[in-house]
Amino acid sequence: MNAPANISRLPAVLYAPDGTRRVDYRAVFALAWPLLLNTGIQAVLNLTDTWFLGRLSVDALAAVGGVFFLILVFVVLLGGVGHATQTLAAQAFGAGARSRAASFAWNGLWATLATAPLFVALAFAGPWLIRPFGMQPQVAELAGEYWFPRMAGGFLGVAVWSVAGFFNGVGRTRLPLLVMLLVALSNAGLNQLMIFELGWGVAGAGWATAAAQAIGVLALVAALLTPAVRREFATTSVMRPRPARIWASMALGFPMGLHGTADLAGFALFQLMIARVGSVHAAASQVVMMLTSVCYMPAIGIALAGTTLVGQSIGAGDRQWAQRTGSAVIKLAVAYMGGLGLLLAAAGPWVLPLFAQTGDPQAAEMVTLGVTLLWIAAGYQVFDALNLGAAFCLRGAGDVKFPAVVLAILAWGLFVPLTHVLTFAPGQGFVDFLPQYGLGSTGAWTAALVYIALLGGAMLWRWWGGAWKKITV
């Protein structure tokens, strides 16, 4: 059967002889696997940093764990323009406007450059931002050492998102995968050089990440300028700033940034509360967080495939097909995260000791606690898969305000106060007017499980409800 021109641009579609269509899971997988490996490499990068820091001390792990999400709060808030590129490029590509899709990559970069001074200012503000959270003095000092280079180079990560978002949006997902592999290998080598060979310690981990991301930006921009890409997308003719398209990136990206920021800010306080309890709890939580990143980071890649499929389907004029392909992606995300989460929890007693410094008197206690936390985190993965899959499919449709509002309400109306209630013993917390049950990091992770179950359900309800079909970008 020959499909009309607009229908022929639909992604991941198989036609039966009678003209009916079904989702081509092979095409979905062909799009998703490079994205899955791409974000999986990011998880490996996080684990690499954690392993290198574990070779320093439990205090080094606790320091980075305490500020890890607080750093990401600012990176994601200012980096929404980078994430917006994928949606805008996918819809333009689905409509057949290839040079317009490429223009969003460049304009995302222009918008990213404007954020660089803000990142540098935040880098210098690190000691004032860290001080109110009451970390142990030696941990707070190490956290400040890591904060400055990691924050000063934050705009480089946003630049990577901007250009990679273009390639992901037009379905060229293998190239960002290769670039991320380059970044991960560079980061590992630079960690060894800067942390140990140059003796920069915890600060070396931050500088290594910034330098590796700079390598990634250069590689992606070079890819935009290759002859094949120039011919297909006219990339050199759309390099100059276009205020209207920069604004489109910002208008779509700002709610995306707020969405991620509300969640990450909650987890920043989550980690800071655990750090206040003690180094063992903070280190165990940080290792578990980085271990479970092999569940949620690749699942973000699967969910990003949903953004592209939904965006391209809408660009081609078929929102019903957008719903079918998006729902297929959500199922894949749940199967991946749920299965791997259980496997990781079962392997915890053998995996966790790899992240402990031999001879550290706190190492055995950290490992024992981490095993318990991994089982709670396994339940978290199932509901987070619903959240990620549905939210990224909604993003492909430009439905970004509702998820941001719901997430903010649940994060700050439920997750943060419940974490405080379950984590701290009386007299330990930031405030005294809430009950305090003193469960430490076990209580904090239980609060996280309750939060993500409600959030995942809300995102899935929004996706099934179909209100996103009325949105245009």
Whether residue 462 contacts residue 394, with contact meaning beta carbons closer than 8 Å, is answered with yes
Maximum Cα interatomic distance, the chain, rounded to a whole number of Å: 72
* The predicted structure's pLDDT at residue 219: 97
- Give every CB contact of residue 243 below 8 A, 6+ residues apart in sequence: none
* The predicted structure's pLDDT at residue 58: 80
Could you tell me the CA-to-CA distances from 26 to 29, 30, 235, 308, 426 in Å, in that order?
Answer: 5, 6, 30, 15, 55
Q: In this predicted structure, which of 6-15, 159-168, 210-219, 347-356 has the lowest mean pLDDT?
A: 6-15
- When pLDDT is averaged across residues 362-369 and rounded to a whole number, the result is 90
What is the sign of the dihedral through the CA atoms of 56, 62, 64 and 68?
Answer: positive
Of the chain, the percentage scoring pLDDT greater than 70 comes to 98
Q: Read off the pLDDT band of 100 (50, 70, 90).
A: very high
Domain membership flag for residue 446: yes
| Rounded Cα–Cα distance for residues 226 and 326 (Å) | 32
> How many domains are there within the chain?
1
| Rounded Cα–Cα distance for residues 263 and 73 (Å) | 8
Closest CA to 87 of 255, 311, 279: 311
Q: Read off the pLDDT band of 244 (50, 70, 90).
A: confident
Q: Which two three-digit tokens encode residue 10?
A: 């639909």
- When pLDDT is averaged across residues 42-51 and rounded to a whole number, the result is 77
Reported as a single tens digit per residue, the pLDDT across 400-423 is 889 989 999 999 999 999 999 999
- With 80 as the cut, is the pLDDT of residue 229 above it? yes
- When pLDDT is averaged across residues 347-374 and rounded to a whole number, the result is 88
Q: Read off the pLDDT band of 5 (50, 70, 90).
A: very low
Domain membership flag for residue 162: yes
1-10, 253-262, 271-280, 392-401 — most confident range: 392-401
Tell me the backbone φ, ψ of residue 14, rounded to 5 degrees: -120, 135
Q: Read off the pLDDT band of 53 (50, 70, 90).
A: confident
* The predicted structure's pLDDT at residue 182: 95
Would you give the DSSP letter of residue 11? S
Query: For all residues of the chain together, what is the average pLDDT?
Result: 90
- With 90 as the cut, is the pLDDT of residue 190 above it? yes
- When pLDDT is averaged across residues 110-115 and rounded to a whole number, the result is 88
Domain membership flag for residue 5: no
Domain membership flag for residue 352: yes
Domain membership flag for residue 151: yes
Domain membership flag for residue 6: no
| Rounded Cα–Cα distance for residues 307 and 329 (Å) | 9
Enclosing H/E stretch for 202: helix 202-224
Q: In this predicted structure, which of 24-38, 218-232, 324-338, 354-368 has the lowest mean pLDDT?
A: 354-368
- With 50 as the cut, is the pLDDT of residue 1 above it? no
Domain membership flag for residue 275: yes
Whether residue 423 contacts residue 277, with contact meaning beta carbons closer than 8 Å, is answered with yes
Question: Residue 117's domain spans which residues?
Answer: 11-470
Q: Is 422 in a helix, a strand, or coil?
A: helix
- When pLDDT is averaged across residues 122-133 and rounded to a whole number, the result is 90
* The predicted structure's pLDDT at residue 7: 53
End-to-end Cα, the chain, rounded Å: 32
Q: Is 54 in a helix, a strand, or coil?
A: helix
- With 50 as the cut, is the pLDDT of residue 234 above it? yes
- With 90 as the cut, is the pLDDT of residue 248 above it? no
Q: Which two three-digit tokens encode residue 462?
A: 């929004």
Phi-psi region of 199 (alpha: psi -120 to 50; beta: other; left: phi over 0): left
Whether residue 106 contacts residue 98, with contact meaning beta carbons closer than 8 Å, is answered with no
Domain membership flag for residue 349: yes
Reported as a single tens digit per residue, the pLDDT across 250-268 is 888 888 887 778 887 888 7
Report pTM: 0.75
- When pLDDT is averaged across residues 420-433 and rounded to a whole number, the result is 91
